[in-house]
Amino acid sequence: MSHRPFAYTLLAATALVAPVHAQTADPDARAAALVGRMTVDEKLSLLHGPMPLPFFGETPMPEGTIPGAGFIPGIARLGVPPLKETDASLGVSWVGGIREDGATALPSGLALAATFDPHLAYQGGAMVGAETRAKGFNVLLAGGVNLVRDPRNGRNFEYLGEDPLLAGTLAGESIRGIQSNRIISTIKHFAFNGNETGRNFHSTNIGEAAGRESDLLAFQLAIERGRPGAVMCAYNRVNDVYACENPALLNDVLKRDWGYKGWVMSDWGAVHSTEALLNGLDQQSGEQLDREPYFGRLLSEAVSGGDARYGARVDDAARRIVRSMISTGLFDDPPQAGGAIDFDAHAQIARRVAERGVVLLKNERDLLPLARTARNIVVIGDQADVGVLSGGGSSQVAGPEGPAATVRVGGENAMGPFSNALYHASSPLAAIKSEAPDATVRFATGRYVSEAVDLAKKADLAIVFVGQWTTEAVDVPDLSLPGNQDALIDAVARANPNTIVVLQTGGPVVMPWLDRVPAVLEAWYSGAKGGEAIADILFGDINPSGRLPVTFPASVDQLPRPKIPGVDLPPTGLVAMGAPRPSFPVDYTIEGSDIGYRWFEARGERPLFPFGFGLSYTDFTYSDLKVEGGDTLTVSFKVANTGDRTGVDVPQVYLSESPDRSQQRLIGFEPVTLTPGESRTVSLIADRRLLANWDVQRAQWSIRAGDYKVFVGGDAGSPILNGQARVRGARLMP
Ligand code: BGC
């Protein structure tokens, strides 16, 4: 697709609204000058807008809207374009097919995180951003970076795992990629939105230090790298105060301590008062979902009521919104709908992410890669004849031809009426057939175990696809595969010793059949070309390189909260999103900042598979560790490919002990591609905040002087090289 060159459009725009643009290219000054020329009503008009979808009956949509997630009218008189907002990180969302224009689906966030590759995150973001722009949208509601505190969270597939460094780095790069299209990306959901159960009214409670060292650190790292134009605050309460009117989060942490210059938009149905403006919220999104027009008529009344605090904040909020429009480039070069999209080229980006993100969890007897000599293969289950599974909710994408299959899920929960599992048109069965043209490849749906077992008995190999559909608004009740799939795998594995399981899950699952199954791939939701990517890995065209971005527990009993808080409460309706309900606590003080692998390490628990884990068809060794101290740690070591295939390894460096306590933290990682016999020295410098603790009294990071121990390993549970160095004490600004 082509865009008008920036220099040209800047000139053109300058000619249109010369007095403002001529002043300076500095977004602060330009935004201030623009807001200075706005009437109060114009400023107020920027602070709220509807969800432009035909679900809300009589509300006529303002001119210029595109059916999507959000719309904020522009100010034509001053050349301020309207904000046209669409979801989300994994592609331009499908919104139930209302626009009838599909988009390229990236694999899930966890698949991307499993690549541990910032460069791929950037490329994926740039691709989705280009489609966003081509469809005429200028805000992508992307950047989901909530840490996985509960493997049953229905939205884990949108996020980037359990570690702040990994999630923050990849979210930042994805946002940078999106905004390279001169559009705005959000980062969301700020903050501590770690479960969907009761998300509109539960309170996630956490101490200041634990918060700064975990979820907030992920946001901080991502904001520094990606500079998103907007932050979307979350539905939930944090320490009993709604996240979208939480001054500690919005005014103190985000705007004061981090110096954030963009704006805070609400999540849809997450506003509960007009005072939210004073507490740091700048814009009410999807306003039909809230109970009142808090930032519409009510804010207008508050401003004309004469409370000067409202007037000043309206100026500030309008300035922040316009500033982000200017700093990202959309002000000077607004997208036009109808841009060309090269779907084939974009699908290749989705395919690359899938190929790199699939995790090989088990491979006994080197069953994989599959021998091309196999004569009889049976493929079983999970709609593998038509496509690959995707996750549900606002982030749902469907390809240009629409979904390949739609399976109704339903349920009493808020999303019940919209709960359909969609499959992307990328058939693993077809891809397997084309990899093994001389084999007889049969397919069984998996609905009848006896049928699958019968075919498995007659085959050389059985490849069982299983799916765990997850969606926004609903957590999964446990970590099992739904339906009869665990029993199906078990029966097939008993019938055929060469059984390979391909998991298509939103996040971790338990595997009661693991001992009986020689090979397991975690394919996540693998996106537009998932079927081809999975087949490439099964047959060895691609050497698997994914590493788990999230710990796979052996059972829910190992979790900080074995029972999901609020799970026994009656279900809520979708339209009642903004309605007040009694809150209930989700106690994050249990694990604090020790999320995932840190929790398992601190408790001495053994997971099913550790964070960072993933096998390859080749072997890697590590040697020559050097750890230098000083202001931070510089860790270098040699990685060698000692096997006989080219492969990508992801060596990881963990802090294992600091002067005052033993604790595990990922402080560096790097994907390295090596040919057989090749070796490379990797050198990583730790971000000092990863060595520090948050000092609540002084409101600063504090590094204690002393010896810091580290290890290099292929996952969080297996130290291979150990070292240490002395680090100077320091205090760092927030
Ligand atoms: C989700 C957001 C999404 C918004 C707009 C909300 O329900 O939590 O992530 O961006 O809807 O669709």
Residues 370 and 409 in one domain: yes
Q: How far is the CA of 268 from the centre of ligand 1 (A)?
A: 6
Q: How far is the CA of 549 from the centre of ligand 1 (A)?
A: 23
Q: Tell me if 436 CB under 6 Å of ligand 1.
A: no
Residues 6+ apart with CB under 8 A from 450: none
How far is it, in rounded angstroms, from Cα 627 to Cα 634?
Answer: 6
Residue-range definition of the domain harbouring residue 128: 17-327
Residues 256 and 139 in one domain: yes
Which of 89, 185, 193, 472 to mutate for ligand 1's pocket (most ligand atoms within 8 Å of CB)? 472
Quick check: is 336 in a domain? Answer: no
Atom 11, ligand 1: which residue's CA is nearest?
Answer: 268
Which of 92, 244, 268 to mutate for ligand 1's pocket (most ligand atoms within 8 Å of CB)? 268
Residue 731 DSSP SS3:
strand
Which helix or strand (DSSP H or E) is residue 697 part of?
A: none
Q: Where is the domain boundary, 327, 344, 372?
A: 327
Residues 144 and 262 in one domain: yes
Please answer whether residues 175 and 163 qualify as being in contact, where contact means their C-beta atoms are separated by less than 8 angstroms.
no
Instruction: List the CATH number of the domain containing 487.
Output: 3.40.50.1700
Domain count, the chain: 3
Residues 480 and 521 in one domain: yes
Q: Tell me if 267 CB under 6 Å of ligand 1.
A: yes
Q: Tell me if 243 CB under 6 Å of ligand 1.
A: no
How far is it, in rounded angstroms, from Cα 258 to Cα 732?
Answer: 12
Which of 66, 71, 87, 244 to mutate for ligand 1's pocket (most ligand atoms within 8 Å of CB)? 87
Predicted local confidence at residue 10, as pLDDT: 29
Q: Where is the domain boundary, 538, 565, 595?
A: 538
Which of 141, 189, 266 to mutate for ligand 1's pocket (most ligand atoms within 8 Å of CB)? 141
Q: Which two structure tokens, joined as six digits, stand for 527?
A: 């996106």
Quick check: is 344 in a domain? Answer: no
For ligand 1, what atom is nearest to the CA of residue 188? 9
Quick check: is 387 in a domain? Answer: yes
Predicted local confidence at residue 573, as pLDDT: 59
For ligand 1, what atom is nearest to the CA of residue 235? 8
Residues 298 and 370 in one domain: no
Q: Tell me if 69 CB under 6 Å of ligand 1.
A: yes
Residues 143 and 247 in one domain: yes
Q: Tell me if 158 CB under 6 Å of ligand 1.
A: no
Which of 267, 271, 283, 284 to mutate for ligand 1's pocket (most ligand atoms within 8 Å of CB)? 267
How far is it, in rounded angstroms, from Cα 654 to Cα 715?
Answer: 9
Q: What is the mean pLDDT of each run of 10 residues along the chain (734 residues)?
A: 29 34 71 98 97 78 90 97 98 94 97 98 98 98 98 98 98 98 98 95 97 98 98 98 98 98 97 98 96 96 95 98 98 96 98 98 97 92 98 97 96 84 98 96 98 98 98 96 98 98 98 98 98 98 98 98 93 60 94 98 97 98 98 98 98 95 93 98 98 97 97 97 98 94
For ligand 1, what atom is nearest to the CA of residue 394? 12
For ligand 1, what atom is nearest to the CA of residue 158? 9
Q: 529: number of CA atoms within 13 Å, CB side?
A: 20
Atom 2, ligand 1: which residue's CA is nearest?
Answer: 267
Q: Tell me if 268 CB under 6 Å of ligand 1.
A: yes
Q: How far is the CA of 397 from the centre of ligand 1 (A)?
A: 14
Residue 315 DSSP SS3:
helix
Q: How far is the CA of 581 from the centre of ligand 1 (A)?
A: 20
Residues 276 and 370 in one domain: no
Quick check: is 343 in a domain? Answer: no
Predicted local confidence at residue 577, as pLDDT: 60
Predicted local confidence at residue 16, as pLDDT: 34
Atom 3, ligand 1: which residue's CA is nearest?
Answer: 394
Instruction: List the CATH number of the domain containing 72.
Output: 3.20.20.300
For ligand 1, what atom is nearest to the CA of residue 93? 12
Q: Where is the domain boundary, 486, 511, 538?
A: 538
Residues 157 and 291 in one domain: yes
How far is it, in rounded angstroms, from Cα 49 to Cα 587?
Answer: 34
Q: Tell me if 236 CB under 6 Å of ligand 1.
A: no
Quick check: is 4 in a domain? Answer: no
Q: How far is the CA of 289 from the centre of ligand 1 (A)?
A: 11
Residues 359 and 315 in one domain: no
Quick check: is 586 in a domain? Answer: no
Q: How far is the CA of 328 from the centre of ligand 1 (A)?
A: 22
For ligand 1, what atom is nearest to the CA of residue 70? 5
User: Which residues, in sequence order, are bridge partners of residue 362?
Assistant: 520
Atom 8, ligand 1: which residue's CA is nearest?
Answer: 267
Atom 6, ligand 1: which residue's CA is nearest?
Answer: 268
Quick check: is 591 in a domain? Answer: no
Q: Concatenate the DSSP letters of all residues of 646-678 into one string.
A: -EEE--EEEEEEETTEEEEEEEEE--EEE-TT-
Q: Tell me if 415 CB under 6 Å of ligand 1.
A: no
Q: How far is the CA of 391 from the centre of ligand 1 (A)?
A: 14
Closest CA to 343 of 66, 134, 534: 134
Strands 184-190 and 519-522: unpaired
Residues 387 and 305 in one domain: no
Q: How far is the CA of 633 from the centre of ligand 1 (A)?
A: 39
Predicted local confidence at residue 574, as pLDDT: 54
For ligand 1, what atom is nearest to the CA of residue 85? 5
Axis crossing angle, helix 215-226 with helix 164-179, rounded to the nearest 10? 30
Q: Tell me if 222 CB under 6 Å of ligand 1.
A: no
pTM of the model: 0.96
Q: Tell me if 87 CB under 6 Å of ligand 1.
A: yes
Residues 212 and 94 in one domain: yes
Closest CA to 80 of 295, 335, 326: 326
Residues 397 and 312 in one domain: no
Instruction: List the CATH number of the domain containing 661.
Output: 2.60.40.10
How far is it, in rounded angstroms, from Cα 242 to Cα 691?
Answer: 31
Q: How many CB atoms lie within 10 A of CB 634?
A: 16
Quick check: is 423 in a domain? Answer: yes
Q: How far is the CA of 267 from the centre of ligand 1 (A)?
A: 6
Q: How many CB atoms lie within 10 A of CB 41?
A: 10
Atom 7, ligand 1: which residue's CA is nearest?
Answer: 268
Q: How far is the CA of 410 from the centre of ligand 1 (A)?
A: 20
